[in-house]
Amino acid sequence: MRICVYPGSFDPITNGHLDIINRTVRICDKLIIAVLSNVNKDCTFSIDERVKQIRHVLKDRPEIEIDSFSGLLTEYMKKKGANIIIRGLRAVSDFEYELQMALLNKNMNPDIETLFMMTNIKYSFLSSSAIKEIARHGGDVSDLVPDYISKQLSKKFKNSVGV
Ligand code: ADP
C-alpha cells in the first residue's frame, strides 16, 4: 500500500495545493492531508479553521483523509502506517528547505520516502502568504483559491482593507 501524507500549513489551502492533491491521488493508494498545528508559526487561520476549510473544499472527495498533527512528521507517519511524504516544488528557492527536511526525515526513518511534485506552471507563483497579502488589501483572489476560501479570506480581513 502506498499511503501518502501531504503535510503543510495550508494557511489557507490554494489552487496550487489542490493541483498537487489531485495529481497525487492518481499515484497513491491513500492520501492523507496532514495540517500542521505549529505553535512556532504565526498562522492567520487556526488549526480548526484550516482543517474545516479543507474538509469543506474536498467534501466530495471522501477517499481523501484530512487530519491535523503536531510534533514530528515521522512519528505521525508511523502512527498512520504511511510511508511517503508528498511535497510541492515551485521555484529553486523551495529546494534548499525541502532538501533539508527530506534528509532530516530520512535520517529519522530510512523507510520513509519524500516524493516531490513539480508545481503546475499555472500556479507556480502561488503561495498562501501571497494570497493573504492580496486579500488583506482587498484584491481579487477568486481564480487562485476555491470560492469558499475566497469568502473566508474576505471575512477574516474585512476590517483591514487598506491597512
Ligand atoms: P509549509 O509551511 O509546510 O511550507 P505550505 O502550506 O506553505 O506549508 O505548503 C505545503 C506544501 O505545498 C509545500 O511543499 C509547498 O512547497 C507546496 N506548495 C505550496 N504552494 C504550491 C504551489 N502553488 N504549487 C506547488 N506546490 C505548492
> Cβ–Cβ contacts within 10 Å for residue 31, how many?
24
Distance 34 CA to ligand 1 centre (A): 12
Grid coordinates 498533527 are at which residue? 69
pLDDT at 75: 98
For residue 31, pLDDT over 90 is answered with yes
pLDDT at 34: 98
pLDDT tens column, 111-134: 999 999 999 999 999 999 999 999
Q: Is 35 in the pocket of ligand 1 (CB under 6 A)?
A: no
For residue 160, pLDDT over 80 is answered with no
Q: Is 87 in the pocket of ligand 1 (CB under 6 A)?
A: yes
**Residue type for position 139:** G
Q: What is the DSSP letter of 65?
A: E
- The residue to mutate among 5, 11, 15, 20, having the most atoms of ligand 1 within 8 angstroms of its beta carbon, is 20
Q: Which whole number is the average pLDDT over 33-55? A: 93
Q: Is 9 in the pocket of ligand 1 (CB under 6 A)?
A: yes
pLDDT tens column, 49-105: 999 999 999 999 999 999 999 999 999 999 999 999 999 999 888 999 999 999 999
pLDDT at 162: 52
d(CA 61, CA 18): 12
d(CA 118, CA 13): 17
What is the residue-averaged pLDDT of the chain?
95
d(CA 36, CA 72): 10
